[in-house]
Chains A and B, each alone.
Chain A
Amino acid sequence: MKEDRSEMAAKDVELDPRSAAISEPLSSSSSSPAAFNAVVSAGNKSRSCKSSLPVTQPPCPGHVLENVLENVLQFLTCRRDRNAVSLVCRSWYRVEAQTRFEVFIGNCYSLSPSRLTRRFKGVRSLLLKGKPRFADFNLMPPDWGAQFAPWVAATAMAYPWLEKVNLKRMFVTDDDLALLAESFPGFKELILRCCEGFGTSGIALFANKCRQLKVLDLIESEVTDDEVDWISCFPEGETHLESLSFECVESPINFKALEGLVLRSPFLKKLRTSRFVSLEELHRLMVQASQLTSLGTGSFSPNDVPQGEQEPDYASAFRASKSIVCLSGFRELTPEYLPAISPVCANLTSLNLSYANISPDILKPIIRNCHNIRVFWALDSICDEGLQAVAATCKELRELRVFPSDPLEDSESPVSALGLQAISEGCRKLESILYFCQRMTNGAVIAMSENCPQLTVFRLCIMGRYRPDHVTGKPMDDGFGAIVKNCKKLTRLAVSGLLTDEAFSIIGEHGKLIRTLSVAFAGDSDMALRYILEGCPKLQKLEIRDCPFGDVGLRSGMHRYHNMRFVWMSYCRLTRGGCRDIAHALPSVVAEVFGSDVDDDDDNADYVETLYMYRSLDGARKDAPKFVTIL
């Protein structure tokens, strides 16, 4: 811990913990609070909060001051502010550590659990992220790591009042869930996103033991079917449940038990069922729980062939659900039933149709009423025509995601530049877009950059690799260049299509706020990587695959790797020697090298298939599997 108070206090009020980390040399025995702040707050989403606390040289810290500080600090929730506060002096550091209840860890390997528990004493809420995003695309071998076990063990001892755990891309076992449930009597919220390693038996145990549970959200996780009726395992009597989400659980559900659970959960606001809930069953649930605000509709397909008047009136169930603002599910949609949702369309702020193969004709009558939609996810089956309909009505749209219904390189994509152009003209408030298509034009991308200046997230995936502008034949440099030049708030960018080094020169120069950059099958040479690393001052997460970038390019970022959350490069031109040089030069950075072939033992010389590099306060991890080499 820093002794020199005066040096700290003299620092700028708007203290950026990461820049502070540069100036302080790191050693493994004592890691500076600034460095700790950096790993614990990297990925801070609350960018816009301003520090309202005047930071001046405090007088001699006394008990009185600390008490006052404690009372003041409880109003300070923004991570960035808290980090700034903690760097003022020792006493402030101590008080801040005692009063921080919410901890965010963007990379579970950036520090050890014991370091967390040593500093913070009263954690109530923990958000932990494990594997990097490219693991979702089978680019990482299984059993790589990101186990939750050590964390639950450490926190079980240190934080008896832990209430919330939010995990993303972690490996969680049934035992972990059991320990979680047993260790924290007041546990309230469990959110597992893109996790794996557990099954329905773990969920059952957890549900049974946590009597105060408010939130159980299983999102896009892989849940083994242990053939346990977990829904029946919730305790008897009234529950505190406010949110129950199990859309990703691929096993049949005991509907009677689910219905019973919903009936005795008066506080339930969000219910997201899996595809094993039929339309008839959904109807019954809706009738019992008309207070829902967010509904995951399950399969949205009737079990049996309807028999005339015996068919439930689905529209009236929706009419009765006056509070619904968010709809998802539609996992096995029978399209003729979709109009049943019409009564809630005008109130909807979020609609996720991305698991339903919907044609423009089915979409149009629905979307026509969705004036208030802010978030819309769909499959490209809605075609450009569907997107035009969205553009015509959804003037409040902030986030759009268009997924491919046929995720192949050479398929006929029903969406194109036309759809993108239409959206840009109709939805001027757009902030975030993810768009899959087969080919694109610079014109449409430029149009979006000009029409939607509020964009913070622009992810365009031209599925055909190396595809140029299909009208002009030129690379997509101009399009992406316009995005970074015109969208001044851009923090996340994913590029695709044919791109030369020039594109990256523009990105490096103009992408001043970019924190996450994803690059695949692009660039001509190391220069492209250099442009990125020598530019983009706020870059935190860099994911690259299949680009002609080698050791020279990698070296050009030496000055900044300790200031980034991670760098991922797979199928590029790195050599072990090159990566090793970097690793040895930067002690605070861990460089992992691995390939996706578990059984391969012939040492294919120098070649590096995947490099995953991240900063860490506690050095190399001890749980690396044998196919991972830590340089």
Chain B
Amino acid sequence: MRDRSELEVGKSNLPDESELELGLGLSLGGGAWRERGRILTAKDFPSVGSKRAADSSSRQGASPPRSSQVVGWPPIGSHRMNSLVNNQATKVAKADKEEEEEGEGKKKVDEAKDVSMKVNGKVQGLGFVKVNMDGVGIGRKVDMRAHSSYENLAQTLEEMFFGMTGTTSREKVKPLRLLDGSSEFVLTYEDKEGDWMLVGDVPWRMFITSVKRLRIMGTSEANGLAPRHQEQKEKQRNNPV
């Protein structure tokens, strides 16, 4: 029950979406795939993916302050949120002055400024992209700015779509290992040009600037989805839209 309530209904361009009855029989409660569910990224397709520079996230220094993964939660006014961001940005800048690490420091300050500039603009929906999952009629949104790496993102997505148990004595479901390779699901994304690609091909920072929306699809459908095949898949996928 509860896992349904936490899902936000977004728009979906899934071809079979019309068959789903919203709110009824819409069960994410299927324990089977919940336990096994994991999201594959390009890393799971060693032939396709380039060596991921997701590790670059560790070199990002002070990562931008993470906002909530669910839009508007916790309920902090955007004014206060912006101020928290500014605070962090200034602290980073000050810390850098003290550390006197010219190269690193400059990078951090730039990034911190970058964050504060982004946030000082219209906050509405800026970092949020929609995520749809095959077989699920209702979508979610994730804040791309709130994540620092593919692993981070995959973890969030796993929690969103698989994470909630239905029992009253709740324990947080342990985050499932993302990259074990035997999952039924693959994570793909639509980029600025409208192409659908496997997530994980490009460095993280490039990814977050070009991702428009995300889709978790079944491995069978994704079979063969790779940069060199992506034009074909793109046609198939974009048709129903």
Binary CB contact string for chain B from 70 to 95 against chain A (1 if under 8 A, 0 otherwise): 11111111111111101100100000
Could you tell me how many residues of chain B have their Cβ less than 8 Å away from some Cβ of chain A? Answer: 51
Binary CB contact string for chain A from 513 to 554 against chain B (1 if under 8 A, 0 otherwise): 000001011011100000000000000000001111010000
Interface pair A220/B9, CB less than 8 Å apart: no
Of B34-42, B120-128, B178-186, B218-226, the one with at least 4 CB within 8 A of chain A:
B120-128
Within 8 A of A (CB), among B174-215: none
Say if the beta carbon of A607 comes within 8 Å of chain B: yes
Interface pair A595/B81, CB less than 8 Å apart: no
Binary CB contact string for chain A from 185 to 210 against chain B (1 if under 8 A, 0 otherwise): 00000000010000000000000000
Interface pair B75/A520, CB less than 8 Å apart: yes
Q: How far is the CA of A461 from the CA of B241 in the complex (A)?
A: 39
Residues of chain A lying within 8 A (CB to CB) of residue B82? 250
Most A CB atoms within 10 A — which of B71, B79, B169? Answer: B79
Q: How far is the CA of A573 from the CA of B125 in the complex (A)?
A: 22
With beta carbons under 8 angstroms apart, the residue of B6, B9, B78, B125 that contacts A607 is: B9
Q: How far is the CA of A550 from the CA of B78 in the complex (A)?
A: 29
Residues of chain A lying within 8 A (CB to CB) of residue B83? 331, 355
Interface pair A408/B66, CB less than 8 Å apart: yes
CB distance from A485 to the nearest CB of B (A): 22
Within 8 A of A (CB), among B54-110: 65-84, 86-87, 90
Say if the beta carbon of A407 comes within 8 Å of chain B: yes
Residues of chain A lying within 8 A (CB to CB) of residue B124? 138, 141-142, 596
Of B10-18, B44-52, B229-237, the one with at least 4 CB within 8 A of chain A:
B10-18
Interface pair B22/A136, CB less than 8 Å apart: no
Say if the beta carbon of B114 comes within 8 Å of chain A: no
Residues of chain A lying within 8 A (CB to CB) of residue B11? 595, 597, 600, 602, 604
CB distance from A51 to the nearest CB of B (A): 37
Residues of chain B lying within 8 A (CB to CB) of residue A137? 71-73, 75-78
Interface pair B5/A142, CB less than 8 Å apart: no
Q: How far is the CA of A275 from the CA of B87 in the complex (A)?
A: 10
With beta carbons under 8 angstroms apart, the residue of A221, A354, A405, A571 that contacts B9 is: A571
Interface pair A596/B71, CB less than 8 Å apart: yes
Binary CB contact string for chain B from 104 to 140 against chain A (1 if under 8 A, 0 otherwise): 0000000000000000101111000010000000100
Q: Which B residue sits closest to A332, measured CB to CB?
A: B90
Q: A409-B73, A545-B72, A605-B18 are in contact. Are A525 and B8 (CB under 8 A)?
A: no
Most A CB atoms within 10 A — which of B4, B23, B75, B87? Answer: B75
Interface pair B76/A596, CB less than 8 Å apart: no
Q: How far is the CA of A2 from the CA of B70 in the complex (A)?
A: 50
Interface pair A138/B72, CB less than 8 Å apart: yes
Say if the beta carbon of B168 comes within 8 Å of chain A: yes
Residues of chain A lying within 8 A (CB to CB) of residue B76? 137, 403-404, 407, 436
Q: How far is the CA of A604 from the CA of B21 in the complex (A)?
A: 11
Residues of chain A lying within 8 A (CB to CB) of residue B120? 250
Q: How far is the CA of A146 from the CA of B68 in the complex (A)?
A: 27
With beta carbons under 8 angstroms apart, the residue of B4, B17, B73 that contacts A465 is: B73
Within 8 A of B (CB), among A592-620: 595-597, 600, 602, 604-607, 609
Q: A138-B71, A220-B77, A407-B81 are in contact. Are A607 and B22 (CB under 8 A)?
A: yes
Residues of chain B lying within 8 A (CB to CB) of residue A463? 73-74
CB distance from A262 to the nearest CB of B (A): 24
Binary CB contact string for chain A from 240 to 261 against chain B (1 if under 8 A, 0 otherwise): 0000000010100000000000
Residues of chain B lying within 8 A (CB to CB) of residue A545? 72
Interface pair B71/A436, CB less than 8 Å apart: no
Binary CB contact string for chain A from 29 to 65 against chain B (1 if under 8 A, 0 otherwise): 0000000000000000000000000000000000000
Q: How far is the CA of A467 from the CA of B73 in the complex (A)?
A: 14
Residues of chain A lying within 8 A (CB to CB) of residue B80? 220, 354, 403
Q: How far is the CA of A276 from the CA of B17 in the complex (A)?
A: 52
Residues of chain A lying within 8 A (CB to CB) of residue B6? 465-466, 521, 546
Q: How far is the CA of A335 from the CA of B71 in the complex (A)?
A: 33
Interface pair A521/B130, CB less than 8 Å apart: no
Q: A220-B79, A355-B83, A545-B72 are in contact. Are A407 and B67 (CB under 8 A)?
A: yes
CB distance from B54 to the nearest CB of A (A): 20
Q: A475-B168, A597-B130 are in contact. Are A407 and B74 (CB under 8 A)?
A: yes
Interface pair A548/B2, CB less than 8 Å apart: yes
Interface pair A575/B22, CB less than 8 Å apart: yes
Interface pair A571/B170, CB less than 8 Å apart: no
Binary CB contact string for chain A from 393 to 410 against chain B (1 if under 8 A, 0 otherwise): 000000000011111110
Residues of chain A lying within 8 A (CB to CB) of residue B79? 136, 194, 220-222, 248
Interface pair A548/B1, CB less than 8 Å apart: yes
With beta carbons under 8 angstroms apart, the residue of B12, B84, B168 that contacts A407 is: B84
Q: How far is the CA of A607 from the CA of B17 in the complex (A)?
A: 12
Most A CB atoms within 10 A — which of B18, B78, B130, B138? Answer: B78
Most B CB atoms within 10 A — which of A331, A407, A525? Answer: A407
Say if the beta carbon of A130 comes within 8 Å of chain B: no
Q: How far is the CA of A466 from the CA of B1 in the complex (A)?
A: 12
Say if the beta carbon of A558 comes within 8 Å of chain B: no
Q: How far is the CA of A209 from the CA of B86 in the complex (A)?
A: 33
Interface pair B74/A404, CB less than 8 Å apart: yes
Q: How far is the CA of A375 from the CA of B225 in the complex (A)?
A: 59
Interface pair A548/B4, CB less than 8 Å apart: yes
Q: Which A residue sits closest to B82, measured CB to CB?
A: A250
Q: How far is the CA of A474 from the CA of B170 in the complex (A)?
A: 9
Q: A550-B23, A596-B125 are in contact. Are A136 and B168 (CB under 8 A)?
A: no
Interface pair B168/A604, CB less than 8 Å apart: no
Interface pair A473/B169, CB less than 8 Å apart: yes
A-side interface residues toward B, CB under 8 Å?
Answer: 134, 136-139, 141-142, 194, 220-222, 248, 250, 275, 331-332, 354-355, 357, 403-409, 436, 461, 463, 465-468, 473-475, 498, 500, 518, 520-521, 523-525, 545-548, 550, 571-573, 575, 595-597, 600, 602, 604-607, 609
Apart from A409-B69, A467-B170, 14 more pairs, CB < 8 Å = A137-B71, A250-B82, A275-B86, A331-B87, A404-B76, A409-B70, A463-B74, A465-B73, A548-B1, A575-B23, A595-B10, A596-B124, A607-B138, A609-B9
Query: Can you list 18 A-B contacts (CB < 8 A)?
Result: A136-B77, A138-B125, A142-B122, A194-B77, A220-B79, A250-B120, A407-B68, A465-B70, A465-B73, A467-B170, A468-B168, A468-B170, A475-B168, A518-B75, A571-B8, A573-B23, A597-B10, A604-B10
B-side interface residues toward A, CB under 8 Å?
Answer: 1-2, 4-13, 17-18, 22-23, 65-84, 86-87, 90, 120, 122-125, 130, 138, 164, 168-170, 241
Across the A-B interface, give the 9 residue pairs with the lowest CB-CB distance, nearest first: A137-B72, A548-B5, A136-B77, A573-B23, A463-B74, A220-B79, A571-B8, A473-B169, A600-B11
